[in-house]
């Protein structure tokens, strides 16, 4: 496995929509395993392929990375239903040093393919719901800082520049 380089805001690939995967092969499985290893290395709970420079619809997540690991790898994930919503603090490995409260659905239904090629449809809630929404946003070229109002976004970008010496 390998630790991959994470793309940082304002890299243009983070604003680019990822392409659907027609077929899962050994290269994509290796890539997803490397993504998991990278996510764990940087103490993240989710990672999308755009964040490591690949425009492929792959997300990995594990909301228990420091304890008993329970990784989730999804190819071509799509949200088909959502319920209720709440605000919760979010951060991002591609936008380090800042965080913001973002409104997202509490519960979602996600479909996609597992590494073995099987189609799945899962209902998730709580933190895993939030993580998958955040990562699927990445695949659509949307950063969490775009989910806040314009004034808050301006303040976040200013803080990000200061924290990251840009």
Which positions are annotated as active-site residues? 135
Indicate the SS3 state at residue 124.
Answer: strand
As a whole number of angstroms, the distance between CA 28 and CA 136 comes to 17
**DSSP-H helix ranges across 78-149:** 126-139
CA distances 97 to 29, 76, 107, 116, Å, are 30, 29, 27, 36
């Amino acid at each position: 496995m390998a630790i991959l380089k994470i793309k940082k805001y304002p890299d243009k690939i983070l604003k680019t929509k990822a392409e659907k995967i027609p077929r899962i092969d050994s290269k994509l499985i290796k890539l997803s395993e490397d993504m998991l290893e990278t996510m764990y290395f940087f103490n993240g709970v989710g990672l999308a392929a755009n964040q490591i420079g690949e425009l492929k619809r792959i997300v990995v997540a594990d909301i228990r990375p420091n304890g008993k690991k329970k990784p989730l790898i999804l190819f071509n994930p799509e949200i088909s239903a959502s319920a209720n919503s709440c605000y919760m603090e979010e951060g991002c490995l591609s936008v380090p040093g800042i965080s913001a409260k973002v409104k997202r659905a509490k519960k979602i239904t996600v479909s996609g393919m597992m590494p073995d090629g099987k189609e799945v449809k899962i209902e998730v809630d709580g933190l895993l719901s939030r993580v998958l929404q955040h990562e699927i946003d990445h695949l659509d070229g949307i950063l969490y800082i775009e989910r806040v109002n314009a004034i808050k976004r301006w303040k976040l970008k200013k803080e990000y520049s200061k924290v990251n010496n840009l």
